[in-house]
Structure 1
């Protein structure tokens, strides 16, 4: 199905019986009915067995990767270990995501403790910085002025951003569709650098704790690399591991919103429509569920952020039917098709920059 590039202040949606200007219906009324149905289906309860098995498997994979690294020694076969650990790091990122949303524990303290250990110590990313950034994204997905995930720091996501772009975004924006996946290889390093910079900002509430955990992570990481491997092999291992890690994260997060409608300042959308219209689900069965950690059910995740991953498939069926009742566009596609939509959007958005040369 086709989607508009921007939702303007006069955007309309179909309610199933008539077309209304957004904001005419009572705020949250439509979502309240969906929430009642989801709650009645028992989809919001914790799933401790699922997370015990899932996190246990990721922990075993991490331990196995470290053991293989120590066993192989100074060998080019370590590049296979680097590739495997890139997947493990991606799964650690997904685990930190679920902990931040309190999908695992209902209480703040265990969620935060688990998030600090997983994100800062094991992954090398600030839990506090990322959680602050991700919370703002959830509140206003694809909002030009409020969603940090679509700020024009490097890429541009709307024609307005393209027209206003200067410096590096203007240069990269001309060919951003072609450069998108190469740039993703730097995402892992970008997350770590941004984490250290954020330690002096207000988004990190425990800078000393997070700083100590981040330093411990990189002391172990680089210490292990340059103790076991020769300098040349260590740098190649680092490039392969971090590059594939960034590609993995990008392949998980990019299909969720990239290429979906952008929201301009002043647009009036209730919570249900704001989350559904800007999100995309990815079909694909059990493999995609595991690969994307449940984020392939992005619409349902945005509507119910604390819902445990194994409940999302059932919530998807309820949500899709409910949106059909209201006439709200509900978009889902395959993984490759989702990337195609995102890349076509990026190429289309970059046209003003190419034409201006």
Structure 2
């Protein structure tokens, strides 16, 4: 890597406040130009969440060697390190600050949200926690040095640095074991046969007017195909971005009607800030779900760029969320359509080389149009609108176990923010759990029941996760980390328990409000009576 100048932490902070996007990688200071910030295939937020931090583990987990070799062009020098490593700064986006373009091609700081700090230091709300809420109407000055200083944390930087060093060694063991090599024949061979069988059975039963049976087979095919789209979105199949993305578009857009571009951007953020209430889109489901009482504060989402209002409507749903969980999951695919199409609409006027270039966006648009052409004809061929509606609902509801499986790995885990001191492996193992299942049933989960290992090594071919998980468990034991796992039924019980716990808090708040209102009315009546006397 180029650059021999040693740059102090104070200078890094000052340059960030001046508008530069600086990230530490292997003791080098990378300056990310605005042009690449917009064009980064992993999304802008994937970079903004690591400004002022050491992102070595995350960068190496998400990029191949040929990409890593190009990073040297962004190095502007080396940073001064303490014995325990780089002392992290708080990324401005974590405290509600972003850069926005203004006239003349320049950019200025913009305050999109206010900070909500924890007033106590508990396991659920640690002193290190920073959440975001809607900003007030008062104009905010730009961020200062105090903005970049993280709140106090219970974590030891030395211990977290040790976890990081051990993770690098683990990663090398994974590479040396050949686990990044894709098992095309033994892995994807049986899956292609399974997809083909389910698709043919759906067509065959449809041709015989067994509509609901056809809908079930179609839903099962979608359910299974998603796993391959997931692998391709992570560049975990051919490991060539262009080839993997083209295959992903064929599966996700042309066959499934969903945008792989949206999913990749959303999923990358989820992987990097897992279970953070203000930043992880995969746990931001108000008004339907709240897996933490933190959402009662009407948090700001840095991903969706809006306030997640905990209003009366949300309170009603959240109070019943444990009862409505499986009902909502049955229709979760419709929400994926909304997110996909709104993403593609936003990208209509994006002329930058962002998230795969214009050809990928155009191919996705063609894919969505093709999907609704063939699926629309299937619905039309059902004969009546009632049969078409039934076909639509059944085919989509059949995919719901996939959505249940996804939330099992995170909804029951910690949503506390331990700050930028926390290492990549520590955060992933604290916020993620595996779902235990027999090897004979692993295909139902697509192998993604091994979420802990997947979160640590997102590019790892899915069929190699089981072998890699054995190494991860050894790593966890050596480092004193918890490798969480539970059975499918136990996992469901855990998630329902979390949802019920938050729902009970909503009901408790409602009772307190009712009592306070009753007391206020009584006081008012008493005072009125005295005035009358």
Q: Which residue is 2:322 aligned to? A: 177
Q: Which residue is 2:216 aligned to? A: 83
Q: Which segment drifts farther, 37-46 or 306-315?
A: 37-46
* C-alpha distance in 2 between matches for 1:339 and 1:54: 29
The yes-or-no answer on 1:162 pairing with 2:328 is no
Q: Which residue is 1:320 aligned to? A: 473
Q: Which residue is 2:115 aligned to? A: none
Query: 4+ residue stretches of structure 1 with deviation over 6 A?
Result: none
Where do 1:79-228 residues align within 5 Å? 79-154=212-287, 155-164=289-298, 165-202=310-347, 206-228=360-382
* C-alpha distance in 2 between matches for 1:340 and 1:54: 32
Contact 2:258 2:340 in 1 (8 A): yes
- Larger Rg belongs to: 2
Q: Which residue is 2:386 aligned to? A: 232
Q: Which residue is 1:31 aligned to? A: 167
The yes-or-no answer on 1:59 pairing with 2:211 is no
Deviation at 1:51, TM superposition (A): 4.2
Structure 2 regions of 5+ residues with no counterpart? 1-121, 130-153, 299-309, 348-353, 511-533
* C-alpha distance in 2 between matches for 1:5 and 1:158: 13
Structure (1/2) with the larger helix percentage: 1
Q: CA RMSD in A?
A: 2.2
What secondary structure, in the 3-state scheme, does the structure 1 residue paired with 2:244 have? Answer: helix
The yes-or-no answer on 1:336 pairing with 2:336 is no
Deviation at 1:62, TM superposition (A): 4.2
Deviation at 1:124, TM superposition (A): 0.6
Deviation at 1:43, TM superposition (A): 1.5
Deviations, residues 135-177 of structure 1 (Å, cap 9, x unaligned):
1101111111221101243311211113432254322111111
Deviation at 1:258, TM superposition (A): 1.1
What secondary structure, in the 3-state scheme, does the structure 2 residue paired with 1:333 have? Answer: strand
Alignment counterpart, residue 295 of structure 1, candidates 445, 448, 465: 448
Distance 1:274 1:217, change over 3 A: same
Q: Bigger relative contact order, structure 1 or 2, given CA contacts below 8 A and separation 6+? A: 1
Contact 1:5 1:260 in 2 (8 A): no
The yes-or-no answer on 1:261 pairing with 2:414 is yes
* C-alpha distance in 1 between matches for 2:466 and 2:187: 16
Contact 1:69 1:78 in 2 (8 A): yes
Deviations, residues 29-84 of structure 1 (Å, cap 9, x unaligned):
121122122223222222221344144224313431342244213xxx32122122
* C-alpha distance in 2 between matches for 1:23 and 1:169: 39
Structure 1 regions of 5+ residues with no counterpart? 12-19
Contact 1:120 1:127 in 2 (8 A): yes
What secondary structure, in the 3-state scheme, does the structure 2 residue paired with 1:90 have? Answer: helix
Normalised to the residue count of structure 1, the TM-score between the two structures is: 0.89
Distance 1:180 1:5, change over 3 A: farther
* C-alpha distance in 2 between matches for 1:9 and 1:84: 50
Deviation at 1:208, TM superposition (A): 3.0
Q: Which residue is 2:509 aligned to? A: 356
Distance 1:214 1:51, change over 3 A: farther
Q: Which residue is 2:105 aligned to? A: none
* C-alpha distance in 1 between matches for 2:377 and 2:295: 42
What secondary structure, in the 3-state scheme, does the structure 2 residue paired with 1:282 have? Answer: strand
Q: Which residue is 2:134 aligned to? A: none
The yes-or-no answer on 1:6 pairing with 2:140 is no
Distance 1:102 1:234, change over 3 A: same
